[in-house]
Amino acid sequence: MRDMAAGPRVLLRRLRELMAEALEPQARLDRIVHAIARNMVAEVCSLYVLRADSVLELYATEGLNPGSVHLASLQLGQGLVGTIAASARTLNLSDAQQHPAFAYLPETGEEIYHSFLGVPVLRAGRTLGVLVVQNRTKRTYRDDEVEALETAAMVIAEMIAAGELARLTRPGLELDLSRPASFTGLSFNDGIALGHVVLHEPRIVVTNLFNEDGDVELARLETSLGSLRLSIDDMLSRRDVAFEGEHRAVLEAYRMFANDRGWVRRLEEAIRNGLTAEAAVEKVQSDMRARMLHMTDPYLRERMSDFDDLANRLLRQLLGKSPDTVAAALPKDAVIVARSMGAAELLDYPREKLRGLVLEDGAPTSHVVIVARAMGIPVAGQVKGAVSMSENGDPVIVDGDEGTIHLRPQSDLEAAYAEKVRFRARRQQLYRELRGRPSDSRDGVHVDLMMNAGLAVDLPQLADSGAAGIGLFRTELQFMVASTFPRAEAQEKLYRDVIDAASGRPVTFRTIDIGGDKVLPYFKATAQEENPALGWRAIRLTLDRPALLRTQVRALLKAAGGRELRVMLPMVTELGEIAQAREIIDREVRHLSRFAHHLPTSLKVGAMLEVPSLLFQLDELMRAVDFVSVGSNDLFQFVMAADRGNTQLSDRFDPLSAPFLRALKQIADAGRRHQTPVTLCGELAGKPISAMALIGLGYRSISMSPASIGPVKAMLCELPVAEIEAFFADNLHGSATMPFRALLQAFADDRSIPL
């Protein structure tokens, strides 16, 4: 019986010899297609390469008219070759001319051939061309022949990716690898960035394709698979991961794939056909990605990133490489492209070189986005496919305003965005000129414009933005970027630095708000939660673990010695929680007094209103605290029963809708009745149109990202507060026929208010 793997092995051996010879690119291609035709006893072997203009050009042939090389071409999707390129799927036909997609190219002389086998030339799931063999007789090619041709296509893909065929490209034309590509995601932080791609986890480049000893490679694969499976099992056994539902689901998927016999069998088959273990992983991963890209089931398509991550983990195991999260030599205009990343990982990159961030996953309120916002860099999120289509060093434009990115942009698009950047710079200059101007409306109403912060990197922006103070200091960010609980001394130093930087301006410290989506890898949860956002988090957690709150309160009291201290409790649900927290705070005050520590001159305790239950006890709440801060992000998701991290719901409900605006007005009115200061410190405050609405509802203190203060102040300076209040008096409880956002936009347009 014939050894079915002998054909591919012999072919691969011949290709290895051809790759090692000193040949011109065209000569090498000609010899390759000749070797393939001879090995497969085919009368024709042709290579079509995909150009940037979506045209497949004949680059080499054995058996067809040699004069048609670089002249014969097909559009993407045209004919059998175009169909293969568009679908990234193999076609194996005994009578090609009967296929509905068959297209006859008279210049090639291929009409006499019937049997046809075509495979896509793939790299990282991207189609770079098509490799074809043909015969006169009607026959279906065997599985081993298909495997041989797919393996040959992989070798050619590496030639294309290495730029070897660039010299064969006619002037004015480029290969598809350099084709411009645009992606649409979601805007996570405004701004425009022009720079060059830095892949957060660069793909392993496989340079050693051909094996010397198949048994050795199979053993390497088995060893690395074993290590991979153990590492996944180890992660699943860790309690901090095991009790996080979403993380666990991903890792369970990894474990399932890592133990899938079909996947392992394909890897072993590729090795037996002559590839190294790492080349086998690259080939199987690319084939699988190409197939999954064309699946209609959204769940299965989402699993692509799981397959990619798993294959990259296996490649690292095989090559003994650990992920290097910070590039050794970043370009001066780095745009980080990642599937997902943590806040601490972003902070590892030198701030002065960062221009933008692109995420395939994430949400506007995820921690890395909060840190990126603090750093003032534009962020586009939910940009599916960005990682696989990017190469390190690719030019890229990030449009954080629209949530789009443009890879390898054409010169006219780049010029248009460069002008947009210059326009934004001029506008920012206007905002800087407003910095020293009081934040008063056109009719003289003063509104405190505060900034949100959470890390030391935020502090310089307090002066730069002209903020009236820090309306929300997220103390949990210090915990999230650390590998262990920050010691009391480290907390005290940070809080003192923040108060010093404020130079007498008010600072509101929110006590540690962890749990839910804010997972600390070193903090062990006690039970798995199906809905962490509604579970054991924020004040619920710290009241159950009072040592956490005591340590933080003591650090805050010491840091604020001789100055005012404002402490805010997150996610309060009932007034009893405020009483319990006050008792802990009072105990720490008494403890420090006993040892003659320098205490704050004034201590104010407030609550964050983000749980709807407080809407039904507003009068009691206003009497129980010194101030209230409205957390509009959480309050909106709870009022609307819409997970703020769910991209399917991100545009479904509008915070500028009558139900939510009425709830916000109730809060502002209650604060005014009891003379309890109320600040709103969510995403709503940072957009001029929603900030205008808040002022119309009665808010006189709002807190936002530093970059938002300029645009909001520009709006405020032109806003007649009396008129926007009258607008709400007339419309808020009526039955408006237009959406509130449209009514607000019309109000601003009529009065030339910049939004």
* CATH number for 645: 3.20.20.60
- Whether 305 has a pLDDT exceeding 80, the answer reads no
* Residue 143 and residue 284 share a domain: no
Tell me the two tokens of residue 301.
């398509």
- Given 45, 200, 367, 406, the catalytic residue: 367
What is the dihedral sign for C-alpha 406, 411, 413, 417?
Answer: positive
What's the CATH code of the domain at 417?
3.50.30.10
Residue span of the structural domain in which 725 resides: 435-750
Predicted local distance difference test score (pLDDT) of residue 356: 94
* Residue 592 and residue 533 share a domain: yes
* Lookup result for tokens 């009425």: 662
- Whether 291 has a pLDDT exceeding 50, the answer reads yes
pLDDT average, residue stretch 349-354:
84
Residue 304 lies in a domain: yes
Q: Which helix (H) or strand (E) holds 44?
A: strand 44-50
* Lookup result for tokens 């090559």: 319
Rg of the chain (C-alpha set)? 31
- Whether 646 has a pLDDT exceeding 70, the answer reads no
Q: Cα separation of 362 and 215, whole Å?
A: 42
- Tell me which of 296, 319, 342 is where a domain ends: 319
Point out which residues pair with 568 in neighbouring strands. 510, 606
- Supply the mean pLDDT for the chain: 84
Q: What are phi and psi of 470, to 5 degrees?
A: -105, 110
pLDDT in tens, 686-737: 899 999 999 999 999 999 988 889 899 999 999 999 999 999 999 998 776 7
pLDDT average, residue stretch 88-114:
82
Query: 333 to each of 193, 317, 395, 427, 457, how far by Cα in Å?
Result: 9, 31, 10, 21, 19
Residue 568 lies in a domain: yes
* Residue 142 and residue 123 share a domain: yes
pLDDT average, residue stretch 310-316:
77
Residue 308 — pLDDT band, cuts 50, 70, 90?
A: low
Residue 327 — pLDDT band, cuts 50, 70, 90?
A: very low
Catalytic annotation present for 446: no
* Residue 248 and residue 376 share a domain: no
pLDDT in tens, 43-85: 999 999 988 778 899 999 999 989 999 999 888 888 899 999 8
Residue 222 lies in a domain: yes
* Residue 135 and residue 195 share a domain: no
Predicted local distance difference test score (pLDDT) of residue 98: 87
* Lookup result for tokens 């998927």: 253
Residue 142 lies in a domain: yes
Please indicate whether residue 190 or residue 560 has the higher confidence score (pLDDT).
560
Residue 1 lies in a domain: no
* Residue 396 and residue 292 share a domain: no
Alpha carbons within 13 angstroms on the beta-carbon side of residue 413 total: 17
Residue 207 lies in a domain: no
The DSSP secondary-structure symbol of 40 reads T
What's the CATH code of the domain at 270?
1.10.274.10
Is-contact 59 168, C-beta < 8 A? yes
- Whether 401 has a pLDDT exceeding 90, the answer reads no
- Whether 554 has a pLDDT exceeding 80, the answer reads yes
- Given 45, 200, 406, 681, the catalytic residue: 681
Catalytic annotation present for 717: no
CA 242 to chain centre: 23
Residue 193 lies in a domain: yes
* Residue 685 and residue 718 share a domain: yes
- Residue 507, SS3 per DSSP: strand
Q: Cα separation of 89 and 380, whole Å?
A: 31
Domain tally, the chain: 4
* Residue 156 and residue 91 share a domain: yes
Point out which residues pair with 69 in neighbouring strands. none
Residue 662 — pLDDT band, cuts 50, 70, 90?
A: very high
Residue 239 — pLDDT band, cuts 50, 70, 90?
A: very low
Specify which of 224-228, 333-337, 526-530 reaches the highest per-range mean pLDDT: 333-337
pLDDT average, residue stretch 609-628:
96
- Whether 531 has a pLDDT exceeding 80, the answer reads no
* Residue 277 and residue 309 share a domain: yes
pLDDT in tens, 123-138: 766 788 999 999 999 9
Residue 621 — pLDDT band, cuts 50, 70, 90?
A: very high
What's the CATH code of the domain at 43?
3.30.450.40
pLDDT in tens, 17-27: 888 888 888 99
- Residue 403, SS3 per DSSP: coil
- Tell me which of 400, 424, 448 is where a domain ends: 424
pLDDT average, residue stretch 205-219:
81
* Residue 710 and residue 563 share a domain: yes
Predicted local distance difference test score (pLDDT) of residue 536: 84
* Residue 150 and residue 55 share a domain: yes
Point out which residues pair with 564 in neighbouring strands. 602
Per-residue three-class SS string for 121-178: EEECCEEEEEEEEEECCCCCCCHHHHHHHHHHHHHHHHHHHCCCCHHHCCCCCCEHHH
Q: Cα separation of 469 and 450, whole Å?
A: 5
Q: What is the percent of the chain with per-residue pLDDT over 70, rounded to a whole number? A: 85
Residue 209 lies in a domain: no
Q: Let me know the angle formed at the C-alpha of 268 by 265 and 271, rounded to the nearest 5 degrees.
A: 150
Q: Cα separation of 563 and 6, whole Å?
A: 82
- Tell me which of 319, 354, 388 is where a domain ends: 319
Tell if the pTM clears 0.95, that is, is over it: no
* Residue 123 and residue 49 share a domain: yes
Sequence-ordered list of residues with C-beta below 8 angstroms from that of 69, at least 6 positions apart, any chain:
58, 59, 60, 61
